[in-house]
Structure 1
Amino acid sequence: MKVFEKAPAKINLSLDVLSKREDGYHEVEMVMTMVDLADRLEMQELSRDTIIISSQAGYIPLDEKNLAFQAARLIKERYDVRRGVYIHLDKKIPVAAGLAGGSSDAAATLRGLNRLWELNISNQELMELGAQLGSDVPFCVQGGTALASGRGERLEPLPSPPQCWVILAKPPINVSTGEVYGKLKVSEIQNHPSIPAMVHSIRTGRFDLMCRSLGNVLEEVTLDLFPEVRQLRQSMERLGADGVLMSGSGPTVFGLVSKYSKAAKIYNGLRGFCKEVYAVRLLI
């Protein structure tokens, strides 16, 4: 028996950091949603008790450093599963890009193995398991659009945002989330995004307000560390995106666009100097 799971990328429409927690994490408040750029996972039971991962991408680890591997090991240990699994990971989401590709792979692995091994684990339990693997994994298990708080694991589902095109562009650099958070001085943040305004724009279907309410307090840290991210952001604004923001800790920058003609113009304009550019829709 084989099972197949889709692992979509996420973007942060709004990301605020409120404080540094005693456990080393940061207290955050975020609005996250998913886009139609996805990895695909194929899972097949093995006769021997082992975890094997393969991928067409030559740049990702295929051992315990891989979050999908960690998810498979966690579910085996927690539910005492003495069976093995072969996971093939068809990688489409850029790595270390602020799009939660690894977290989404882990979430898809949890969902897929729950079906493959007929474990009947509730969605809530899967999300709690996912929180042990990373702050974005519970959201990726749940999917959709959500207001996240705590370190990202407390989720309040939201309606789908107003439908639009999303142009994603990743410069040829990798950004460490830990480094960006490490350089963030919470007490010196001057412009906190309005999370209530973003939530209101989604609940009322206001695309214009959603674009005006975009905000990410990590952006300035990453833009200072990597000038090419700032240049990419400025290029997307100059080409006419309705709203522009960096996702997560970066370096991917996204632009929200209401009309396909404008999306095509921005996509073609960025492709001239940025290799990894995608034009996708929001997942609704």
Structure 2
Amino acid sequence: MNQSQDGLQQQATSGNVCFVQSYAKINLTLDVLGKRADGYHELATIMQTIDLYDTICLTRLAEDRVSMNCNRPELSNDYNLVVRAVQAVRQKLGLHQGLAIELHKRVPVAAGLGGGSSNAAATLLALQQWWNLPLSMQDLWEIAASLGSDIPFFLTGGLALCEGRGERITPLASHWPATMRWLLLVKPDISVSTAMVYRNLTPDDYTNGGWSRAAEVALQTQSKLQASDLYNSLERGVLEQYAEVARARQEMLDAGAHYVRLSGSGPTLFTTFDTLTEAAAVQQKLQSQSYEAYLTHAIHPGNNPITYF
């Protein structure tokens, strides 16, 4: 496994136990180009890994079974993407090695941050290295894409342009604006149906992908990236359909955020700051209003340095 893959997992193994860190992401931009013949939507989105992660512990079992235990009880089942990733590997290679999975969730669930997708990708990479499996990156990509549209991104992480359903990944050089050093995420206490958000899109919400392309160029040429450039085709519909999200956005602005954007299909909102002092002050104000507020930053999980400009 190359350095970037190893770094992505932040893997620690000892005999029959493997610990893995599984990082979340934000959508810096999200263009929806239109609906495809297969029922999915064609996307162009800039995604970035962030330093907010779940921890997965994998333990070998003598018997031929896979078990799941999560600190979020509703995720302790065979539908969990980690279990599905393990079973996909076992089925593809005809393996009978048993595994006990423990998942400590810190990334908010169903929040537009890709937590479940990241869990699946980190598990695939961990098994490939830990069990020394004869799986190429193409094999892993095929398994990942079969499980979910966001999962292939997490096989590499960092900064990337994702197209198609999100499964076509173009890794980008890790350039990031210094004015966006600190990321503040706010998760309203509400669940948003991704399927419903996409169903409620109107033709006016569709773009030609220009927002994501422009952001890509600005980042790669280390040019100024304006808050107004961070477009999300889903944001209008989410703000109109979910009053709690619209209220959280306004309260972030009232607390001192210079702008607020939706990550993915939400409901998580994010803003950025160039100093910790300002970021922490806004976070404290929002936490005093009982919001889940996470202060984090962009990372490249492969331990590749980020160039700030």
Q: Given the two structures, how large is their TM-score scaled by the length of structure 1?
A: 0.94
Q: How far off its partner does 1:191 sit?
A: 6.8
| Paired residues of 2:205 and 2:234 also in contact (CA < 8 A) | no
- Amino acid aligned to 1:280: T
**Residue aligning to 1:10:** 25
**Residue aligning to 1:45:** 60
- Amino acid aligned to 2:263: S
Deviations along 1:41-83, one digit per CA (max 9) or x if unpaired, are 111111111111112223x322222111111111111111111
| Paired residues of 2:33 and 2:206 also in contact (CA < 8 A) | no
2:263 is the alignment partner of 1:244: no
Q: Secondary structure at the match of 1:132?
A: helix
What are the ranges of 5 or more consecutive residues in structure 1 without an aligned counterpart? none
Structure 2: distance between partners of 1:202 and 1:244: 19
2:103 to 73, 81, 89: 89
Deviations along 1:223-274, one digit per CA (max 9) or x if unpaired, are 1111121121122233333442110100000111111111011101111223
2:290 to 266, 274, 279: 274
Structure 1: distance between partners of 2:226 and 2:116: 27
Structure 1: distance between partners of 2:275 and 2:25: 21
**Residue aligning to 1:220:** 236
Please, which moves more after superposition, 220-229 or 8-17? Answer: 220-229
Q: Percent identity?
A: 40
| Paired residues of 1:201 and 1:210 also in contact (CA < 8 A) | no
| Paired residues of 2:68 and 2:78 also in contact (CA < 8 A) | no
Q: Secondary structure at the match of 1:216?
A: coil
| Paired residues of 2:177 and 2:225 also in contact (CA < 8 A) | no
Q: Secondary structure at the match of 1:73?
A: helix
- Amino acid aligned to 2:136: S
1:36 to 51, 59, 81: 51
1:234 to 250, 257, 268: 250
**Residue aligning to 1:154:** 168
Q: Secondary structure at the match of 1:169?
A: strand
Structure 2: distance between partners of 1:165 and 1:222: 24
- CA-atom RMSD in angstroms: 1.6
- Amino acid aligned to 1:219: E
2:187 is the alignment partner of 1:173: no
Q: Secondary structure at the match of 2:155?
A: helix
Q: Secondary structure at the match of 1:215?
A: coil
Deviations along 1:173-219, one digit per CA (max 9) or x if unpaired, are 1111111111112x22277761222112211334x515331110101
Structure 1: distance between partners of 2:217 and 2:299: 19
- Amino acid aligned to 1:146: A
**Residue aligning to 2:153:** 139
Q: Secondary structure at the match of 1:274?
A: coil
- Amino acid aligned to 1:251: P
2:216 is the alignment partner of 1:199: yes
**Residue aligning to 2:200:** 183
Deviations along 1:101-133, one digit per CA (max 9) or x if unpaired, are 111111111111112321042223212210011
2:273 to 248, 257, 265: 257
With over 3 angstroms needed to count, the CA separation of the structure-2 counterparts of 1:42 and 1:210, relative to structure 1, is farther
| Paired residues of 1:43 and 1:112 also in contact (CA < 8 A) | no
Q: Secondary structure at the match of 1:29?
A: strand
What are the ranges of 5 or more consecutive residues in structure 2 without an aligned counterpart? 1-15, 301-309
**Residue aligning to 1:22:** 37
